[in-house]
């Protein structure tokens, strides 16, 4: 796997098996910031699930200027976690990244601001079953596309997301596919449009009311 420069100057990776990039090529950093972190809003002391951690952009951006955040990252590919060691990131998140460069080896790191990232290295479809009820304030939901990974976007996965979310918790994702939104609604989540960034259609925010 190789790094690929995106249009905002940040790097993504191309995955040959799924024939997809890990981020929008209009901007990896921009996507993490606008569709996930800003779209949901982050506060100190939150508990966050990063469903498909990858290079960790969503999680590590969420920690910036915050304390006491606990993140659980689900990922099944050690190779992408290894790539974090050499990922060139925008200056504004370099300090945060440097604390978590070794996440492939440690899998549980806490920085000076008491922000903790713990990785569960396994199939996310298995890992979600062991996560506790009513626990997370925010979920970054970021698998490969519904066409390539339909099982990740099923009603049963969103039922699990609903179960582990606290009341008023929010989930962000880049997809606005009808099937995805229908499965979210069937699982009990309220669906609203997320921001329009890098493409014509909006992202999606799902809320547990």
Ligand X SMILES: C[S@@+](CC[C@H](N)C(=O)[O-])C[C@H]1O[C@@H](n2cnc3c(N)ncnc32)[C@H](O)[C@@H]1O
Given the rule CB under 6 A, which residues bind ligand X?
A: 22, 32, 52, 54-58, 74-77, 80, 123-125, 142-144
- Nearest approach, Cβ of residue 145 and ligand X (Å): 8
Residue number with CB closer to ligand X (74 or 139): 74
- CB 142, min distance to ligand X, A: 4
Nearer to ligand X, 21 or 188 (CB): 21
Q: How far apart are CA 24 and CA 75, in angstroms?
A: 19
Nearest to ligand X of 188, 195 (CB atom): 195
- Closest approach of ligand X to the CB of residue 151, in Å: 8
Name the residue nearer to ligand X (CB basis): 51 or 162: 51
Q: Where are the alpha helices (DSSP H) in 32-113?
A: 39-40, 57-63, 78-83, 94-99, 103-106
- Which one, 22 or 136, has the nearer CB to ligand X? 22
Burial of 40-50, coded b for 16+ CB within 10 Å and e otherwise, reads: bebeeebbbbb
**Closest-CA residue to 100 (of 39, 47, 55):** 55
CB of 209 to ligand X, least distance (A): 26
CA distance 24 to 134: 31
What is the total residue count of the chain?
Answer: 209
Inter-CA distances, 29 with 56, 96, 188, Å: 10, 14, 31
What residue is closest to ligand X based on CB? 54
């Amino acid at each position: 796997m190789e790094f690929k420069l995106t249009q905002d100057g940040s790097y993504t990776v191309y995955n040959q098996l799924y024939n997809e990039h890990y981020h929008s090529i209009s901007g990896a950093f921009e996507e993490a910031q606008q569709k996930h972190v800003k779209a949901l809003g982050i506060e100190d002391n939150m508990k966050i699930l990063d469903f498909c951690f990858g290079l960790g952009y969503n999680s590590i951006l969420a920690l910036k200027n915050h304390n006491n955040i606990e993140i659980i990252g689900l990922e099944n590919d050690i190779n992408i976690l290894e790539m974090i060691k050499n990922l060139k990131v925008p200056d504004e998140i370099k300090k945060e990244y440097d604390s978590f460069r070794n996440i492939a080896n440690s899998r549980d790191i806490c920085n000076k601001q008491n922000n903790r990232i713990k990785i569960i290295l396994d199939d996310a479809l298995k890992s979600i079953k062991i996560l506790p009820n009513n626990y997370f304030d925010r979920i970054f939901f970021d698998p490969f596309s519904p066409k390539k990974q339909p099982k990740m976007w099923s009603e049963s996965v969103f039922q699990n997301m609903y179960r582990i979310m606290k009341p008023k918790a929010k989930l962000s994702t880049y997809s606005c596919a009808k099937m995805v939104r229908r499965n979210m609604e069937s699982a009990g989540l309220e669906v609203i449009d997320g921001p329009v960034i890098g493409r014509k259609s909006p992202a999606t925010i799902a809320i547990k009311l």
